[in-house]
Structure 1
Amino acid sequence: MLAADAVTKRFAKGDSAIVALRELSLDIAEGSFVTVVGRSGCGKSTLLNMLAGLTPPSAGEIRYRDHRLSGPDTQIGYLTQHDTLMPWRDVLRNVEMPLEIRGVASAERRSVATELVQRVGLGGFEKHYPRELSGGMRRRAGLARMLAGSPETLLMDEPFGALDAQLRTELQLELLRLWQGSGQTVVFVTHDIEEALLLGDRVVVLGRVGRILLDREIALARPRSADELRVDPEFVALHGELSTALKRESPAGEERS
């Protein structure tokens, strides 16, 4: 479905270049939920930006459905770390935006947006502006807006990282509910091992400059409960395996070329 083929990404800095990723190869199967976990600075966000077609690789290529990805694709939705809701639009009009860009008729896009707002638990807040919402509500609105375009693939960059533990758990379960049975492909970046195991059916652990430290299929039964998983021997073993892989890697730092 989505593939990175020996991709390298360099950013110019003065007379030299900072290497964010070096010769990373990764294949994402259609319909899978892949979580990518790693220390800050290992290139996780850079990888997502390339998979979204927003940043071209310095070397190698990104392929989507076996075609070279040379720019953004409407079949790939992207929920970034930061809130990107339009402050001058209320919740409903924010969610409508992908449909409006596509030229969908007003009545149809209003119907689709209204249904999505209900699905993410924001019923009654359709006319509220982003400044009037809590952080968790803005995350829900952003998720609804991404889903409005009916993308085949969802890229998510630590979308719940800034939320408190209880709210993060609620939105994790909400995301799984929306994903299961949809056929959509998800690549979810996080620095939290527990979140990676709760959500993913495959976990990829990244080290410095995108070196793959571990690529592990997760066979934990669904639906998954965070409280129940914490005392599950299989979960405990997997958590230890991922934690050990990360501990063997020195903290990420700049690599120059």
Structure 2
Amino acid sequence: MSAPHPMAERAGTTTSGPVFEVQGLGKFFPKGNEDIVALREYDLRVEPGQFLVLLGRSGCGKSTLLNLLAGLTRPSTGTIRYHGAPLTGPDTRIGYLTQHDTLMPWRDVTRNIEMPRELRGDDRRSRRRAALDLVELVGLRGFEKHYPRELSGGMRRRVSLARMLCGEPETLLMDEPFGALDAQLRMELQGELLRLWQGSGRTVVFVTHDIEEALVLADRVVVLGRVGAVLLDQRVGLPRPRDPDDVRVDPRFVQLHRQLSSALKEGAR
């Protein structure tokens, strides 16, 4: 019998409907006598097990949308439903990996990773075992007792990913998690993320401004323009499993790249 998938524990809830259903979503931030509009009349439907990438230029509302899907902020208008129920705040079934390093500098790698289980009251032995399993999973064996200041940027990203997974979320929100890394390391972590996600049943909503990253990872790419205007909603039919090196030379990849690039250029006009 084959071993269970390393990300499959508490993976996607069985449902016939969408994981997220967003309707008429708007988000406004007051400034003086006016409102800054981040999103306006935005609709989105995310299917179970889908790897959805939101692609757009800076300032198009991608991160604002992810904060709303995480339940960290409330919509100004419209609704967000998660598995059919209104999303009114943070939900432990939803994991969120932000752009910025949020590791606790006074905790070593293991204690950073186990923190979600500590917060929910798991006993020390079980949460330590889960954390060490994840250390192995993300390729950090030998660094269990290192502190964040002793790790490279790529290692800290691996710890952050492991910490999110330690909470056993069924849905993953990821806001440009590899954007600050060099090109080679970013490619390595893209491959690692695909390895962890493939076959897990989890749903991913991933934000990026990089067309190649979007196509390497996604089942579906939604290209966003100003205030969340949908410029293109494109299925990505590239075969899985995907190797980030190999997929970039596939003629279908090149054609999709042109389509996404064209949509972004149109949206900038």
Same fold at TM > 0.5: yes
What RMSD in Å do the two structures reach over aligned CA positions? 0.8
Candidates 163, 180, 187, aligned match of 1:145: 163
Who is 2:11 aligned against? none
Unaligned runs of 5+ in 2: 1-18
Q: Which runs of 4+ in 1 moved over 4 A?
A: none
Who is 1:2 aligned against? 20
Is contact 2:154–2:185 with CA below 8 Å preserved after alignment? Answer: yes
Identity of aligned residues (%): 69
Is contact 2:191–2:244 with CA below 8 Å preserved after alignment? Answer: no
Aligned-partner residue type, residue 215 of structure 1: D
The answer as to 2:77 corresponding to 1:64 is no
The answer as to 2:203 corresponding to 1:185 is yes
1:117-196 matched pairs, under 5 angstroms: 117-196=135-214
DSSP-derived class of the 2:267 partner: coil
Deviation of 1:224 after TM superposition, in Å, equals: 1.6
Aligned-partner residue type, residue 249 of structure 1: G
Who is 1:39 aligned against? 57
Who is 2:13 aligned against? none
Who is 1:239 aligned against? 257
Structure 2 Cα separation of the partners of residues 225 and 94 of structure 1: 30
Deviation of 1:230 after TM superposition, in Å, equals: 2.5
Structure 2 Cα separation of the partners of residues 132 and 21 of structure 1: 39
Deviation of 1:176 after TM superposition, in Å, equals: 0.6
Structure 1 Cα separation of the partners of residues 203 and 248 of structure 2: 26
Who is 1:220 aligned against? 238
Aligned-partner residue type, residue 110 of structure 1: R
DSSP-derived class of the 1:41 partner: coil
Deviation of 1:250 after TM superposition, in Å, equals: 1.9
Structure 2 Cα separation of the partners of residues 77 and 225 of structure 1: 25
Q: Deviations over 1:97-143 (max 9, x none)?
A: 00001101110000000000110011111111111111000000000
Structure 1 Cα separation of the partners of residues 236 and 149 of structure 2: 39
Task: Tell me the TM-score normalized by structure 2.
Answer: 0.92
Candidates 22, 26, 35, aligned match of 1:17: 35
Structure 2 Cα separation of the partners of residues 91 and 13 of structure 1: 41
Candidates 91, 103, 109, aligned match of 1:85: 103
**Aligned pairs, number:** 251
DSSP-derived class of the 2:114 partner: helix
